[in-house]
Amino acid sequence: MQDASHPANPYYSRSDTTKLELPDKVWKSVLSRDLYQVARHGATDTAFTGKYWDYEGIGTYFCAACGNRLFRSDAKFASTCGWPSFFETVRPASVVYRKDTSFGMVRNEVLCGRCGAHLGHLFDDGPPPTGKRYCMNSTSLEFEPDRQETKKPQ
Ligand code: FE
């Protein structure tokens, strides 16, 4: 079911968990330029510049490319690294992992479990209870607050 909030992206859905396998040119046509570069080509937000690195809203973080549910705000922690950081995902299948050997390092790349978008990397220096640090790009995330502000009647 298409999400009406993303008219340019017919693959976006917060309810459909069916895996998406789309050609690169399709992603290029439905994602913003910045999101396409991060999600499909592993670009990285500059530290301390993204929307969410120091954001403390209460709610849920979804994959910005496909709407897959990724993190809850109560698994987010204040990290000094300059990127939004979480100690666990909403469910194990929210993400998948891939060994990344770029830049002379061996890192654990984190990808969206539904669409394969590049989200960031996983490190073992996070806080309890998991000791994990999901170091994410704000560009790949989309936050939805638990309660929408309701306008007061005039
Ligand atoms: Fe996704």
CATH of the domain at 90: 2.170.150.20
Residue 6 domain flag:
no
Under 8 Å between Cβ of 1 and 15: yes
Residue 75 domain flag:
yes
Residue 87 domain flag:
yes
pLDDT, mean of each 10-residue run, the chain (154 residues) = 80 95 97 97 93 95 98 94 96 96 93 98 96 97 85 63
CA distance 57 to 146: 9
Structure confidence at residue 152 (pLDDT): 63
Strand partners, 143: 61
Domain count, the chain: 1
**Domain span at 102:** 24-145
pTM for the whole structure: 0.91
The rounded Å distance from CA 36 to ligand 1 centre is 12
Residue 7 domain flag:
no
Under 8 Å between Cβ of 27 and 65: yes
The rounded Å distance from CA 95 to ligand 1 centre is 9
Q: Within a 13 Å sphere around the CA of 33, how many CA atoms are in the beta-carbon half?
A: 0
Structure confidence at residue 147 (pLDDT): 79
